[in-house]
Chain A
Amino acid sequence: MSVVTNTTTIGAIDAPSRRNTELMMLVFAIAISVFAYANVGLALDGSLPSGMFGYGAGLILLGGVAHLVVRKFAPYADPLLLPLATLLNGLGLVLIWRLDQSPRLIQRAEQLYGAYSPDAPKQLLYSAIGVAFFVAVLMILKDHRILQRYTYISMVAALILLIIPMFFPAVNGAKIWISLGPFSIQPGEFAKILIAVFFSGYLMVKRDALALASRRFMGIYLPRGRDLGPIITIWALSILILVFETDLGTSLLFFGMFVVMLYVATERTSWIVFGLLMSAVGAVGVASFESHVQQRVSAWLDPFSAETWAQSDQLGQSLMAFASGGTLGTGLGQGHSDLIMFAANADFILSTVGEELGLAGMMAVLLVYALIVERGVRTSLAARDPFGKLLAIGLSGAFAIQIFVVAGGVMGLIPLSGMTMPFLAYGGSSVLANWALIAILIRISDTARRPAPTPSPSTDAEMTQVVRP
């Protein structure tokens, strides 16, 4: 076979598998993390950290296993998704480990809980389970279209996951956790994937009805009442989550994801107009009587006012952390982002990136996230089946919205809401769910880029030529 220089993802014939590219990028990603690890150790103690080889070996093992599984089970998958996720996961481990060393945070933990236990080893464990999830999804899910069969089961499962936290006590003002003994799970992260599956399955079936059966009114297409039903339901649901669980981020995420998928499925701009209108109505409505939301908004408007400062100085501290980083950052281990105290290594981990890696590091990290989203959207474009298209765009759209909501929150661009930066932040459910998300995207991209089976030669080809008399 001749050498094919086909560089598009969508190559129909003889697309190169790019598995070796993936391997190289993976080596690069792990090397960056290991060097970062050494950097923290040198900055803090002046010597290479003793756990460096443990973490390095752990990362190499995880990356290697994931790569081999992709090579075996999804040979045509997008080559960038896995290395990008590994890079973020590795960097996250380094940042969490760096914050583990903070005397300020250790002192705080000892005062509050009487004991202190570092988070980095737990995060490494979660990462291992996350990669196991990744492997399991790739091995079990031979074709993403199988998920179509579970459309309504997904919905029910997602609803259960979302409702359960209401029966658990609120943690720091938000009811988004399930506590099971020593473990606490944030079910919203998993519900994200399940809801994307449900939307894809539902919209694939209903898209024509939604798109065509509508009346034209003042230049936009108004959907029929019965088609409006599910949208109203989802809107109400996301508002309910917001009200009962005071979870601003998750409701925004679900609603945004739904509007995106509706728009893609129906190709009708009117859905976006409706979506924006409804979310505006919902947001204003909830904000007018929910004190938790009001607090967040007023903290966002003036993070340094005496009132905000007395309630929580987190956002102000985060902004000052970013500023302190400046263009080049203070260097890993040399900042004071731990002044944020609570959730410094979870919701606010990006502030540590901002302070210690600076504007340069922030741009790089944001670009890595942007690249993951871009590969997801590209996968969606390349996918040949509507279900795969919808699922891929739903997942990558949700990923983009989540990043915007979290990063925008800690940077004071929008009001703060409790979600975590995928892969970077400390948290078991987040790491697990996002590795599963990447696995599904890799599965779809593998299907999309897999070369079409060569058509069998048609024996009638010559016979059907027009013969001029």
Chain B
Amino acid sequence: MNKPLRRIAIFCGILMLALMVRTNYLQYVRADELNTRDENRRIRIERYAHERGNIIVDGKAVTGSVETNGSDFKYKRVWKDGPLWAPVTGYSSQAFDSSQLENLEDGILTGNSDQLFFNRTLGMFTGEKKQGGNVVTTLNGAAQKAAFKGLGDKKGAVVALDPQTGAILALASTPSYDPSVFAGNSNKDSEAREKLLKDKDKPMLNRALRETYPPGSTFKVVTAAAALENGLYDDIDAKTDSPLPWTLPQTTVPLQNEGNIPCENASLREALRWSCNTVFGKMSDDLGNKKMIEQTDKFGFNKEVFTPVRADASIYPEDNKPQNAMAGIGQASNRTTPLQMAMVASAIANDGKLMQPYMVAKRQAPNLDDIYTAEPEELSRALSGENAQKVQQMMETVVKDGTGTRAQIPGVTVGGKTGTAQHGLNNSEKPYAWFISYAKTDNGSPVAVAVVVEDGNANRDDISGGGLAAPIARDVMKAVIDSKQ
């Protein structure tokens, strides 16, 4: 009986071996995959087991942590001025995960990042409590507050950039929400979140990055840049070939101007000053769809932007001739994010050089050592320096004695462009009021802004962008300039 016995012994050995192989496979090979599963509650337990690091603006934390009890999560995230900073920080909830910076910088904030490996290892020996690192943002508190205050109870968004570096200085979206109300995991938290999700004003939508609007007349600066870059026109004060009325190509529909403005054969400068639809519509048609797309690509359209928070792609569409002419004045299916229009303004203000927008200036270890410092990065060359200066002159005229006079700041050169984008079928809904601008001092331009207000309440194209959005842009620019002094 011993021969089969030995075989049975081998069989039992194989059973045990299979278990041993399996446990190795599970605990070593598959461990990473299983440890990062969404279902794995340990991730959240761990995330909230220690005080989370902070997100810092102007040297002060805009976030904090409080100890909670009654669940397996020890700490809860709190925000100072939640609605003001929510579009920047995102939320971090015990029950509902996290978003934006709270999510993308989770490794640093929890202290789990590989970048903190050395600190962690050191802490293991010194017996220090595990701590999260900090994320220092590029935002300017005064500019953010000015933007938020300017938008007030209107729906809209503001993005301010430093044209020379791409640093995001303000990123406001209204109506906003306070992430603190659902940071825990009680029923009250989920009710609060449910209420926010059901709100028809969509307070949790980040309008600055994740909503695309027709850019309206503000897009005319892009069309002007395309015309200059492609040699369609050279002198901004020379007459253009622009008949009035001008009929949209392949149709019998005449393109309307807003009111009785001097647009016939207007120079580029005058056309932008008065925001002539006929001039820029024809310009876009003359350039053609392909060249328009090429120019928008250079400004960063047609792909997502990572700041590192993802911004939706702004789209200049491939389209037929009449639609392309309309897209050239910022209508039709031309859609952009406020961030994108701020990038347009900043590229022009920075003599054509478009910088990659970013909002994380530094990452700090728990002991406040910098472990990462952002380096400004050139995204593309949107237009030549010469042409950029021409567009600047045109935009400065707009603010000096055009539609954008309300953006003037005493003692500072400001360039801008208003816009009122039609919205809804046959312009049935309230138009969007736009304003993009930049300020310039002796050391180049410190700030470029894009403002969009969703409920622009006006009947004339440019007055509303100028009346509603321009003052907000002015306040934001002023806040940046004042804080630099």
Contact = CB atoms under 8 A, between A and B. Distances in A.
Given A313-B39, A336-B41, A322 B27 contact: yes
B15 A103 contact: no
A326 B27 contact: yes
A95 to B, nearest CB: 16
Interface string B15-55: 11011101110111011111101011110010000000000
Contacts of A358: 27
A370 B11 CA distance: 12
A359 B24 contact: yes
Question: Which range holds the interface residue count of chain A?
Answer: 35 or more
Chain B at the A interface: SS class: helix
Interface residues of B, number: 36
A133 interface: no
Contacts of B28: 326-327, 359
A377 B37 CA distance: 42
B8 A397 contact: yes
Interface stretch (A30-38, A66-74, A162-170, A404-412): A404-412
B23 A393 contact: no
B27 A403 contact: no
Contacts of A263: 4, 7-8
Nearest to B10: A377
Interface in A419-437: none
A381 B15 CA distance: 19
A326 B23 CA distance: 10
Interface string B314-341: 0000000000000000000000000000
B425 interface: no
Contacts of B16: 366, 369-370, 373, 400, 403-404
Interface string A293-304: 000000000001
B23 A403 contact: no
B66 interface: no
Contacts of B41: 336, 339
A377 B13 CA distance: 11
B190 to A, nearest CB: 19
B204 to A, nearest CB: 25
Interface in A285-321: 304, 309, 313, 316, 319-320
A260 B4 CA distance: 9
A119 B220 CA distance: 76
B368 interface: no
Contacts of B26: 319, 322-323, 354, 411-412
Interface string A364-405: 001001100110010011000010011001001100110110
A104 interface: yes
A363 interface: yes
A24 B19 CA distance: 29
A362 interface: yes
Contact of B23 (A260, A366, A374, A389): A366
Contacts of A320: 34-35, 37, 39-40, 42
A104 B23 contact: no
A323 B27 contact: yes
A264 interface: yes
The 9 closest A-B pairs by CB, nearest first: A323-B34, A400-B12, A370-B16, A359-B27, A404-B15, A323-B31, A377-B9, A362-B23, A322-B26
Given A103-B72, A403-B16, A408-B18, 19 more contacts: A260-B11, A264-B5, A267-B4, A309-B39, A316-B39, A320-B39, A322-B23, A323-B26, A324-B42, A326-B31, A327-B27, A336-B45, A354-B23, A354-B27, A377-B12, A390-B1, A404-B19, A408-B22, A412-B26
Interface of B: 1-9, 11-13, 15-16, 18-20, 22-24, 26-28, 30-35, 37, 39-42, 45, 72
